Structure 1
Amino acid sequence: MKKGIGKLIICLIVFCMSCTSGDKEHVYVLIETELGDIKVKLYNETPLHRDNFVKLVKDGYYDGLLFHRVIKDFMIQGGDPDSRQASSERMLGSGGPGYTIPAEIVYPALFHKKGVLAAARQGDEVNPHKESSGSQFYIVTGNIYSEGKLKGMEQQLTQIKERNVFNCLAAEHRKEIMQLRKNRDQEGLMSLQDTLISKTREIMMEDGPVMFTPEQREAYTTVGGTPHLDGEYTVFGEVVEGLEVVDKIQAVTTGKADRPKKDITMRVKIIE
């Protein structure tokens, strides 16, 4: 009998330890607002973004900042240090801690379904490596898509991918193109263009068209999201509680530059 009780106690201890370790597998943060609280799980697949976010939260960096950009059926964005006690006339969205974070785009495993946390960044024209803002983030709201719309989007994204491949190849031959133009060698330009088109087609044939995974299709046709952002921005967490609060925030009245007319201030803390 005593042996049986002993084994039971050991099993309970192991069970409790496994439960505790399971809770510690991910870092959770709480974003507090006057409209309610949002609990977010940070992904381990994006350690640079996770650790940076945790550091800023522990430093109190986000406390008193605003959700300064809100677009219904798209996303809510915050994390600009310039938004702290900012006047209603001040333009926001360009502030940060003075550094960027290397992209950690884990696609298609991590994608822009409703409720995910992702890093804002500057556009490709000045940021070709898609490095993330050191502090600004957004939470996706998005739309629900039909299968037909997703298929149409796949075709559009495939065309965009094909253009990008061609442009990258052309960039590699920039000096040659400039010399051919300088020499007004139209025949040479057409020949090079045909070669680049042929290489583009080879790459596209090898890679295949853009196609959403079953997981993406399930999410985008049920809870929704912003599929056109996939593969372009680093997704590094997701809302696990308080999605209704995100919906409340996205529904507020906004003014110039999509800033809420009534300030929505945040406080962020680590859930121990």
Structure 2
Amino acid sequence: MRNTSILYPLFLVGLLFFSCDSTEKKEKEAASSSEINAKNNSISADSSSTAAQTAVEEQVKDTFKLSEENAIDFFFNYAKEVKETKVKITTSMGSFTIELYDNVPYHKANFIYLAKKGYFDDTQFHRVVPNFIIQGGNSDNTKTSKKRRAIGRYLLPPDTRKGHKHHRGTISMPSSERDNPHKLASPYEFFIVVTRPGSYHLDGSYTPFGRVIEGMDVVDKINAVEIDDGEWPMENVYIKKAEAF
């Protein structure tokens, strides 16, 4: 009985230590598990936050529209980033290449911006005046008007005092048909002079912003198509692609 009475308290003490050790181990495991979950939740929250921020940025980018209030500031900054100096225009009758003038930055930046946005693709040369000009950038397709609405409604100021004249092969920007006493330029359209040696009566009223450096024979071919009474080609001449480089 004496041995049993000694061993029993020792057994209780051992059981108590084992119980404490087991409890402490479970508490550590629980704490570790909570810490891992907290980290995972933090990572998940950070990922969600980043994804949400990206989505907002993309939405802002997609919903940005040019207007008469922001266009000048936008193209002033855009012109500083533009590396491209030429645009190749591929039409249903062949292709030609335009080199853009550096000292008319708003018109140059605008043309490159629209080309890179894909605006000119699937538009037409909608006005042809024999031995004078071909004019492009419009269409009777509703897709074109949708593109304009998505990009924005704005005009550009004329920039006619940079020494450029309307020689043959010059690309220039027509003025808007809206109430427009200052001859602000319609940014979505352009015309190319085919007159030999040029159409200099246009100087001072419209802004030359580049010239055809390759493929002038294609421009002449377009100028020779049959037209209706409204100077619209009887058979549509499409701009398939405008590529800035």
* Category of TM-score, reference length = shorter chain: 0.5 to 0.7
| Structure 1 position 127, deviation (Å) | 1.6
Matched residue of 1:67: which SS? strand
Counterpart Cα distance in 1 of 2:131 and 2:139:
25
Amino acid at match of 1:229: L
1:168 — aligned with what?
Answer: none
Counterpart Cα distance in 2 of 1:269 and 1:33:
9
Counterpart Cα distance in 2 of 1:138 and 1:28:
16
Higher strand share: 2
2:127 — aligned with what?
Answer: 69
1:126 — aligned with what?
Answer: 179
What TM-score do you get using the length of structure 1 for normalisation?
0.54
Matched residue of 2:172: which SS? strand
Counterpart Cα distance in 2 of 1:117 and 1:130:
17
Conserved 8 A contact 2:104-2:209: yes
Amino acid at match of 1:46: V
1:184 — aligned with what?
Answer: none
| Structure 1 position 247, deviation (Å) | 0.4
2:242 — aligned with what?
Answer: 269
Q: In the alignment, does 2:224 pair up with 1:251?
A: yes
Amino acid at match of 1:139: I
Amino acid at match of 2:201: H
What TM-score do you get using the length of structure 2 for normalisation?
0.59
Tell me which of the two structures has the higher relative contact order, counting C-alpha pairs closer than 8 angstroms and 6 or more residues apart. 1
Counterpart Cα distance in 2 of 1:81 and 1:98:
17
Conserved 8 A contact 1:114-1:224: yes
Which of 125, 138, 159 is 1:104 aligned to? 159
Matched residue of 2:218: which SS? helix
2:107 — aligned with what?
Answer: 49
Matched residue of 2:176: which SS? coil
| Structure 1 position 35, deviation (Å) | 1.3
Q: Which has the larger radius of gyration?
A: 2
Counterpart Cα distance in 2 of 1:103 and 1:63:
25
Counterpart Cα distance in 1 of 2:84 and 2:165:
18
Which of 67, 83, 94 is 1:36 aligned to? 94
Q: Over residues 173-214 of structure 1, what are the superposed CA-to-partner deviations in whole Å (9 max), with x where a residue is unaligned?
A: xxxxxxxxxxxxxxxxxxxxxxxxxxxxxxxxxxxxxxxxxx
Structure 2: runs of 5+ lacking an equivalent: 1-81, 145-150
In structure 2, relative to structure 1, the CA distance for the partners of 1:268 and 1:243 (3 Å cut) is: same
After TM superposition, the structure 1 stretch with the greater mean CA deviation from structure 2, 223-232 or 69-78, is 223-232
Q: Over residues 211-248 of structure 1, what are the superposed CA-to-partner deviations in whole Å (9 max), with x where a residue is unaligned?
A: xxxxxxxxxxxx41111111110110100001000100
